Amino acid sequence: MKVPYPELRRAVSSHFHHLGLALDHADELAEVILEAEIEGNVGHGLTRMAQYTAQLQAGGLNPRPEMRLERTRPSVAVLHADGAPGPVAGLFAVRVLSQMAREQGSATLAVRGAGHSGVLSAYVGRLAQQGLVALAFANTPPAIAPGPVLGTNPIALGAPADPQPVIIDTSISVVARGKIIAASKKGEAIPEGWALDKEGRPTTDAKAALEGSLIPIGDGKGFALAVLVEILAGALAGDVLSPDLPLPWMPPEQTAKPGLLLMGLEPSAFGAGYAARVAQLIKALEAAGGRIPGARRAALRGKAMQEGVEVNETLQAELGKLGMRLQGGGNT
């Protein structure tokens, strides 16, 4: 069924508020979860609500965090998140970083001690909408072959452009682990080339893939990129490396607290001409038949806002177990 976006957001926000989050934090968590859902990244969307719920109930996440900002340099800061849900800490970091980057021309902010951040596009996208070129790096629990030692370690870019920002948000594995978790819940097979089982053999079994490892993009090149992100998000920004992060299916009180590194660049600090050059690039890409990164997300978001958010029967059942009852009808 299709549920109007405003109704769904109210329901998700209310659910987390009843779990102890302040009203504004509950709404921020709902905002990022639903952003993933309506932009096609369902592995980080509503299906994650059960995980967030269990972690909040078990004390793995702190519903009332006392986040502390440490300004170590004029253009560098560390946010000590005190166990906050990742999106709550992430959106706080965006607000701080935006101001810092405008003041300094460029700024970098590390988030430590927060839960899973969800989609990085939520953060770089907001910074890009405010006129900043933004980068984000996050380490994650171990997942990719060989090993696994390194996580899927996503990387994201947000760049101001017309008519909408260029948004790149990709994991270093062929596919994000969230998609395999979603397939496992549904009992569905996964495509060949996504994962290996625990014996190192190719598999299309989602459960076997979760017990094994995910294949990195571009083999050795993807592995090298995962190391790059691990150094930036794990060693530099965070205080826990991927191999020491609890896996998603561990007891909820053992919630992973990965590192998140955000960077913001003010185009005018680098001189004039940014907007014209980006417009030139987009025109050239479109002339060559390329799809501009972020365009599909924007189209899906617009459709969901207008027509409502599709919530299938499996997801309805998952949300029902959390005490959520939704009514369909689409947007009016």
The highest-level CATH class for domain 74-171+219-293 is alpha beta
Q: CATH for 1-58+295-331, among 2.130.10.10, 1.10.1530.10, 3.40.50.10490, 1.10.10.10? A: 1.10.1530.10
Q: How far is CA 89 from CA 66, 109, 260, 283, in A?
A: 10, 11, 10, 36
- Quick check: 85 and 52 in contact, CB under 8 A? yes
121-129 and 23-38 helices cross at what angle (nearest 10)?
100
Of all residues in the chain, what percent are helix, strand and coil, respectively (each to 5)? Answer: 45, 15, 35
Report the candidate in 84, 45, 85, 86 with the shortest Cα–Cα distance to residue 68.
84
Q: Do domains 1-58+295-331 and 74-171+219-293 have the same CATH topology?
A: no
- 174-215, superfamily in CATH? Hypothetical oxidoreductase yiak; domain 3 (3.30.60.50)
- Quick check: 115 and 61 in contact, CB under 8 A? yes
- Quick check: 239 and 79 in contact, CB under 8 A? no
The predicted pLDDT at position 332 comes to 43
Tell me the C-alpha distance between 182 and 168, whole Å: 22
| Average pLDDT estimate for 317-326 | 92
pLDDT in tens, 160-187: 999 999 999 999 988 878 788 888 888 8
- pLDDT of 148 over the 90 cut: no
**DSSP class of 142:** S
Residue 19 CB-half CA count within 13 A: 30
- pLDDT of 199 over the 90 cut: no
Q: How far is CA 265 from CA 136, 182, 184, 188, in A?
A: 12, 35, 39, 42
The neighbouring-strand residues paired with 183 are none
Over the chain, what is the mean pLDDT? 94
The predicted pLDDT at position 330 comes to 59
In the chain, the percentage of residues whose pLDDT exceeds 70 is 98
CB atoms near residue 275 (< 10 Å): 14
- pLDDT of 269 over the 50 cut: yes
121-129 and 86-104 helices cross at what angle (nearest 10)?
30
The predicted pLDDT at position 77 comes to 99
pLDDT in tens, 54-104: 999 999 999 999 999 999 999 999 999 999 999 999 999 999 999 999 999
| Average pLDDT estimate for 11-20 | 98
CB atoms near residue 313 (< 10 Å): 8
Handedness of CA 52, 53, 56, 62 (dihedral sign): positive
Q: How is 258-300 classified by DSSP, letter by letter?
A: --EEEEEE-GGGG-S-HHHHHHHHHHHHHHTTPPPTTHHHHHH
Residues 6+ apart with CB under 8 A from 76: 107, 108, 109
- pLDDT of 327 over the 80 cut: no
**DSSP class of 244:** G
- Domains of the chain by residue range: 1-58+295-331, 74-171+219-293, 174-215
